[in-house]
Structure 1
Amino acid sequence: MREIVTIQVGDFANYIGSHFWNFQDELLGLAEDPHGDSIFRSSSLNMDVLYRTGETHQGIPTYNPRLISIGLQGSLGSLSSTGSLYTSDPDPSDIITWSGNVSRYASEPQQKNLFLQTLYEEQTGPSAVSNDADVVSPTLQREVHDKDRVECLEKGVQYWTDFSKVQYHPRSLYELHSSWTDVKQFDNYGTGKDVLSEGLQGEEMNERMRLFVEECDHVQGIQFILDDSGGFSGVAAEYLENIADEYTNTPVLLYTVRDPHAYIHAKSQKDSITRSLHDAVSFSTLSSYCKLMVPIGLPSLSRSKLSSTLHVEDQKLFHCSAVYAAALHSISIPFRMDMRGPTVNTAYVSGAVDVGGIIQMLAGQGRQNMVATLDVAMPAPSLTGSILRSLNSLTPEVEEDVDDSQALESLITHGMLHAGRRASLSEVNDSIVAAYDCEMSKPKFSHASVSLCPLPIPLPFPSIFRSCVGRQGELLETPTEMTQTKGSLDIDSIPMAARLRSSRAVMPLIMKRLENLRKFGMQRGALGGGLLQNWGFGREEIEDMGEVMAKMVMQLDPHSQGSSGSDWD
C-alpha cells in the first residue's frame, strides 16, 4: 500500500478539503451502488490510499480520511473536535483523580442546518433524531426534499463543516487556542509563530501526524493544503519543518490557497507593507520545506476564463472552494490508480504515478524546491476540442501563454466524453498526443494520466454550473431552458482535465515577492525592517529568504535579473 496523509491548515484550506472529501465519499457510495453507473464500480481507483480502516469502541468498522485538519478555536461550527463517530467529551465531574470542586462552563452549541440534520437522520435513523435535542427541528416533521437541502446551503454556509457529509477520525480535527481572541489580528506570519510558542500545541499536532504516518505500510507522500494568506503560514512553517526533520524521505506536495477576500485592497500603507512582507516571508519559508509548491486562488473566479461554464459568486467561500477542490481531486487521481492485482481492469486507467514521481518530474530536473502552476478545465470539452487550449490557470500572478521550451508538465484527464459517450483510454491518449503535436511550443517533458471515472457531483455541491452544461457534464450547443445555474440536482458528473506545470509562467509571482522583500525588508532604512524583527527574523535569515527566491528565478531563467546580491548597507 502506498498511502497519502492529507493535512489541511486554515479556514479556506478546510473549505476546499470539505468539498474534496465529499467527492471521495460520493465515489465510495457510487462504487457500492449496484444500480448506478458501472464506471464507478470499475474505476480502478484505490481509495485506501486516502482512507484508513478502524473501528469504534463498540467494535463498529470505520473508514475515515487519513487527515489532520487544523483551524482556529470555534471554526468547526456544530461539529465536535472529536468528530461524530464517538460520544461527546466526558463530564469533568467524572474525573476521579481530582477531589476538589469542579466548575463547568458551557456555551450553547451551534445548531445544525437542514442539510446536516437530514444527513444525521439518514446515518442514525429516525429514532435517534427524536432523542437528540440538538437535531430536532420542526422542518423534519415533514418530508424534506433534496431541493430544500441544496437551497439551505446556497443561502447560508457559515462553516466548512456545514456542508461536510464525511465522518472524521477523532484525532483528525484540531483547534488552535491562544491568549488572543480577535481573529482579525491573526493576519500575518508573525502571529502564527506566536501561537505555537504558547504551550504544547506544536507537539500535539506532531503527535497526530505520527499516529497517521506510523499506521501506514509505506506512505507515498503528504498532501498539504494551506491557507497562507494570514497567520496559518507561520503555523504551517513550524509543522512543515518538523515533517522535514522527522520524515526526511517523505515528499510533500504543498498547495498554498487563498480566497478572494485575501485580495481586498489594504486600508493603509502599514497594512500594505505588512501584507507584502507576509507574502514574501511566507513564500520563501514554506518553499524551503517542500519539494514542490502550487499556489492556488484567483482574485476572482467570476471574471476568469472559467466563467464561460461556471457562475461562481466570489464572496461565497462555499462556491469558490468547490472549484479548487475539484482541481485537487483531479491532480490526486494518478496517486491512487490501482494497476496491480488480478481484478484490476487496466482499460479504465493509465499513467499511474505517485506523489514522489510527480515531484521528481516537475522539480527534480535541476529545479529544486520549485513552484508549479495549476490549470484546469471544468468541465473539460469533448475530444473534438483541444484539451490543452481549454485549460485555465488557477494560480494567481502568472504570465499567460508563456513560451518556455524547458517547461515540465503533468496532465490529468478523467471522464472525458466523445461523440455523446464516454471516451476510451486509447481515444483520450490519441487526443492528448494530437493536442501536443499541434502546439507551437512543446514542453521539454510531459506526462499524461488518464482515468475513465468522471468527477461525481455530490448533493452538497454548489449550484455553479451554467445552463450550457448537461447532466453528464457535456457542453450543450443549445443550453437548456432553466434557471441561470445548475447544481447537483441537475448534473450527475463532469469530465475534468487538470495540469501541473513547471515553467517561466510563475516568474512574475516570485519576482514580486523578491522585490518586496528587498524594498520593504532589506534596503537601508526599509519601512518593514522593524516588523520583520518583531516576527523574530534577523539579518541573516532575511538574506537567506532573498537567496531562496533569487535561486528560483535563476533556475527558471538563467538570463534574468534576479541576482541574489545583498541589499544591506
Structure 2
Amino acid sequence: ETYFTYGDEEESPVDHDVHFRPGHSEDGTETFTPRALIYDLKGAFGTLRRDNALYGAPDDPAAIAQQMWSGNTNVIRTEQIQQSAYQQHLDQGLAPPTLSPDTVRYWSDFNRVFYHPKSIVQLHEYELNSALMPFEKWATGEDLFDSLDKEHDLLDRDLRPFLEECDQLQAIQMITSADDAWGGFTAKYLERMRDELGKTSAWVWGLEEGGRKPRDKQILQVANVAQSIHQISSQASMYIPLTTLPDVLPPYVHLNGSSKWHTSALQLLALESMTLPTRLRAGQQGRSSFTDIETLLSNDGNRRIAQLNMSIKDPSELEGEADGNAGQHDSRMNNFTNGNHGHDDSNTKDLDIDMQPKTANLTGERGNDHRRTHVFSQLQSLRGKWKSNLEIEDTNLASRDRFGHGPRIESHQSSLLFPVIDSFPQVFASGNVVQKLAVNVSLSTTTSVAQRVRAVERIARSIIGIDEREALCDGLVGICEEYEDGWESGSESDDD
C-alpha cells in the first residue's frame, strides 16, 4: 500500500502488478486487489468478510432458501464478531487509533487492504483453537486436503483463476505453519500443484512456533516439522523455515512473544525485504528474480532449504558508513549477534537476528551443533546504504567467477527503505519514532541447515511410528548429506 504513487508523484521502484491484480467491482469501478489465496479455519478470519466496500454482499441466504423451498425456513446465525476500533476508523475515513497486543485479536484487526472475494477461503471442517477437534497433527492436514480436493478440485476452483490472470508467472509463494496440520495440507497442495504446473518456481515459507512449551507439544511439533521438511522441501523450489521467536534478540528489538501481531511483524519484515528484488521494476538497481536466486542457492536443485538472517537499523546510522567503514556493525550490537559465526569469507557478515528455528534436545543425545558454520552460497538483500557501490560490484563479480573459491555471494541493494505504517507494531527501539527502516537480510545455504535437520531427524527416529520412520529418517539424512558432502571433515565435526 505504501509503495503506491498517485498523480504527479515519482513512479515507485516497485512493480505493483507483481503482487496486485487489476479488476472491476460490481458497479464497474476499477479495483486493485492482492494476488492472494488465503485458506484458514472457521473463525480465524475474525471480522474479515468475503464482501467488502469493493465487492458487495451476496444475496440474502434467507431469500435464496425461500426460492428453493416453499415451506418455513429457520436461519441459524452464529454470533457476529465485533469490528475493532482500528477497522471502524478505517471504514469511516478517520485516523485510526494506536494498536496494542491487547486490542489485536485476529490478523484482520490490523488489515488495511481489500481482498477479492475469491481470495478468502474458509474451511468449515475445523474451528480455530478447538479443543474438541484440534488442527494439530500433520496427517489431519493431509486428510483435510484429500477430502476437499476430491469434492471440489481445489486447484481448479481456487488457484487456477488467479494463475490465468498472470501474463508472466514468475513464481508461487506459499506461507504456512510447518509444525501443525497446515504442514500436511500444504504438502498435499504442493504435490497437486507440481502435477499441474510442472517446473513453475514454488517457494514455501515454513513458520514454526518458537519459545518454551510443554514437552508433549514439543514432541508433536517436531514430528510435524520432520514431515514438513521431508515432504515439502522435496517438492518446493526453495523452503525457508522461519521461527516466530528467535532464541536471541538484539537489544534494539522489543518483542512480545505471546502476541502474534508482534511475532508476525518480524517475519513479515524478513520475508518482504528478502523478496523485494523480485518485485522491482525492470532497470531498477538491485532487481533479481526467484529463479536467479534459486540458481545461486540450490546447487542444481539439491540444496533447497535456506537459512534467513537479518539486521535492522535506523537509516541515519548508515550515513557515511558504507563509503567509510563499509560493512561495520554498530558497536552496541556486536555482542548480540546470533547469526552465522566463524564464516570463512569476508563478504559473509554476522547479522543480528537468526530466523532459523531451533530444535530442543529431547533425546539427551550429544549432537554436533557447535561446529564452524560453512556458507555455500548467499543472497544479500539490502535496503539502505549498507555497502558502497564498489563493494556491491566486487561481491557480485567474484560470485560470477567460475574458478573462484569460497562461498558464492550476491548482493542486491535498493534505496527503498522498509516503511513503518500505523498497523505495524513499534517493536524496534529508537530515540525517535522511526518511519522507515534500513534492513539487511541474507538467505544462505549453510552447514547449519544440516545441523538443524539432523537434530530433527534424531528426535523423529525416537518418536515416529515404525511404519513411517525408515523412509522419513532416510529422507532427512539425505537432505543433510547435500550440505555436507565435499565439506565435512573429521577434524571439524564431533561424532554423531
Query: What interval of TM-score do these two structures reach, taking the shorter chain for normalisation?
Result: 0.7 to 0.9
* TM-score for the superposition, normalised by structure 1: 0.71
**Secondary structure of residue in 2 paired with 1:370:** coil
What residue is the counterpart of 2:158 in the other structure?
208
For the 8 Å contact 2:47–2:82, the answer to whether it is kept is: yes
One of 545, 558, 565 as aligned partner of 2:472:
545
Deviation at 1:431, TM superposition (A): 9.3
Deviation at 1:187, TM superposition (A): 1.1
Q: Provide, for residues 67-94 of structure 1, a one-character-per-residue CA deviation record: whole Å limited to 9, x for no partner.
A: 0111111111111134552222321233
For the 8 Å contact 1:391–1:498, the answer to whether it is kept is: no
Correspondence 1:243 to 2:178: no
Counterparts of 1:500-515 in structure 2, within 5 Å, are 500-515=443-458
Correspondence 1:360 to 2:295: yes
**Secondary structure of residue in 1 paired with 2:92:** helix
What residue is the counterpart of 2:178 in the other structure?
228
Deviation at 1:259, TM superposition (A): 3.4
Deviation at 1:100, TM superposition (A): 4.4
Q: Provide, for residues 400-429 of structure 1, a one-character-per-residue CA deviation record: whole Å limited to 9, x for no partner.
A: 89442x611100001237xxxxx8x72673
**Secondary structure of residue in 2 paired with 1:290:** coil
Write the distance in 1 (CA, Å) between the matches of 2:51 and 2:471. Answer: 40
Write the distance in 1 (CA, Å) between the matches of 2:410 and 2:370. Answer: 21
Correspondence 1:32 to 2:6: yes
One of 78, 103, 109 as aligned partner of 1:156:
103
Deviation at 1:236, TM superposition (A): 0.8
Correspondence 1:58 to 2:27: yes
For the 8 Å contact 1:288–1:369, the answer to whether it is kept is: no
Deviation at 1:104, TM superposition (A): 1.0
Write the distance in 2 (CA, Å) between the matches of 1:55 and 1:279. Answer: 41
Write the distance in 2 (CA, Å) between the matches of 1:394 and 1:202. Answer: 36
For the 8 Å contact 2:141–2:184, the answer to whether it is kept is: yes
Deviation at 1:512, TM superposition (A): 1.6
**Secondary structure of residue in 1 paired with 2:48:** coil
Distance 1:199 1:321, change over 3 A: closer
Correspondence 1:392 to 2:353: yes
**Secondary structure of residue in 2 paired with 1:308:** coil
For the 8 Å contact 2:241–2:356, the answer to whether it is kept is: yes
One of 202, 206, 218 as aligned partner of 1:252:
202
CA RMSD of aligned residues (A): 3.0
Distance 1:329 1:182, change over 3 A: closer
Counterparts of 1:241-280 in structure 2, within 5 Å, are 241-260=191-210, 263-266=212-215, 268=216, 273-280=219-226
* TM-score for the superposition, normalised by structure 2: 0.81
Counterparts of 1:364-443 in structure 2, within 5 Å, are 365-368=299-302, 370-379=304-313, 382=318, 383=322, 384=325, 385-386=327-328, 388-397=349-358, 402-404=372-374, 407-416=376-385, 426=389, 429=392, 443=406
Write the distance in 1 (CA, Å) between the matches of 2:370 and 2:452. Answer: 12
Write the distance in 1 (CA, Å) between the matches of 2:378 and 2:130. Answer: 39
For the 8 Å contact 1:290–1:369, the answer to whether it is kept is: no
Q: Provide, for residues 101-154 of structure 1, a one-character-per-residue CA deviation record: whole Å limited to 9, x for no partner.
A: 4321112321111110110111xxxxxxxxxxxxxxxxxxxxx765xx11x434
Write the distance in 2 (CA, Å) between the matches of 1:514 and 1:114. Answer: 46
For the 8 Å contact 2:277–2:412, the answer to whether it is kept is: yes
Correspondence 1:79 to 2:41: no
Q: Provide, for residues 453-474 of structure 1, a one-character-per-residue CA deviation record: whole Å limited to 9, x for no partner.
A: 1001111111212135x5xxxx
For the 8 Å contact 1:206–1:239, the answer to whether it is kept is: no
For the 8 Å contact 2:101–2:259, the answer to whether it is kept is: no
Higher relative contact order (CA 8 A, sep 6+): 1
Any gaps of 5 or more consecutive residues in structure 2?
330-348, 360-368, 490-496
